[in-house]
Amino acid sequence: MAAAAPGVVIVTGASRGIGAAVALRAARAGYAVVVNYASDASGAAATVEQITAGGGTAAAVQADVSDPAAVGRLFDAAAALGTLTAVVNNAGITGDLIGPLAEVPPATVRRVLDVNVAGLAYVCQEAVRRLSTGHGGGGGSIINISSTATKAGSPGTWVHYAASKGAVDVLTVGLAAEVAAQGIRVNGVAPGSTKTGLHAAAGMPDRVERLSPTIPMGRAAEPDEVAAAVLWLLSDEAGYITGAVLPVSGGR
């Protein structure tokens, strides 16, 4: 007897990098995937095309997670694909700037916090409203993408970004306890240095290579390695895990 399909997963910020890798791996696991994006429509379309070419189901949905109304529309669109069972909060920005905190423009600090903290909270709120057995849902799982930048605080580069990810960790632990009796597991994945376009966008395309010697495993992660951790936490094998933040960092 074939296993039942796992349902629908929303992956925010899934037009590229870790988000796209999560979307592709989720599709291979049988999920119908909502590929969310804020502005990269072509990247989101490419992710959807890869999924559908492999026989999966996916739809690209534009929504800026820092806008609560847009988040509501994102979840409404997901309902068209079936029953929502999982949400991966991947959308996040650094502000495309590297430097000491004193030199970061206030508008950049605000935008990073709006997307990485407030936006993640808005998505979590809507996910609970849709998944919670207390709200008539069938339960499910939320994964919040954090960062190992929270360990040292990213001095001289992204203190504002690291601080936002510290907030993500606290929200993950608190929400997990809050909704555990409502059929929802909430966990985090904290990638270390990963081969994505994030560093190039901030003006340092060689940053991953320069950091690799400081990583015990001697290299940065591939996006799919981070995605593998996300899908494991979504799976039944992690059914008794909630409130955890799993580092995927090569030991750094």
Q: Contact, 161 vs 95, CB < 8 A? A: yes
Rg of the Cα trace of the chain? 17
Structure tokens at 250: 């090569």
What does DSSP assign to residue 193? Answer: S
Token match 């990485």: residue? Answer: 116
Query: Closest Cα partner for 70 from 91, 45, 44, 48?
Result: 91
Q: Contact, 223 vs 21, CB < 8 A? A: yes
Q: Contact, 104 vs 97, CB < 8 A? A: yes
HSE toward the beta carbon, residue 210, CA cutoff 13 A: 6
Instruction: Write down the H helix ranges in the chain.
Output: 17-28, 41-53, 68-79, 106-113, 120-131, 149-152, 159-179, 198-201, 207-211, 223-234
- Ordered by start, the domain boundaries in the chain are 8-248
Q: What is 8-248's CATH number?
A: 3.40.50.720
Using a cut of 0.85, tell me whether the model's pTM lies above it.
yes
Amino acid at 205: P
Question: Quick one: pLDDT at residue 3?
Answer: 67
Q: What are residue 144's DSSP bridge partners?
A: 89, 188
The catalytic residue positions are: 161
The vertex-95 CA angle with 156 and 34, nearest 5°, equals 130
The model's confidence at residue 204, banded by pLDDT at 50, 70 and 90, is: low
Question: Quick one: pLDDT at residue 36?
Answer: 98
Burial of 45 (0-12, 13-18, 19+ CB in 10 A): middle
Query: Closest Cα partner for 175 from 242, 130, 116?
Result: 242
pLDDT in tens, 15-25: 999 999 999 99
Q: Contact, 24 vs 46, CB < 8 A? A: no
Mean pLDDT of 62-69: 98
- Provide the residue count of the chain: 252
Pairwise CA distance, residues 19 & 35, whole Å:
8
pLDDT in tens, 85-143: 999 999 999 997 889 999 999 999 999 999 999 999 999 999 999 999 999 999 999 99
Assess whether pLDDT exceeds 70 at residue 205.
Answer: no
Assess whether pLDDT exceeds 60 at residue 13.
Answer: yes
Question: Quick one: pLDDT at residue 198?
Answer: 64
HSE toward the beta carbon, residue 135, CA cutoff 13 A: 13
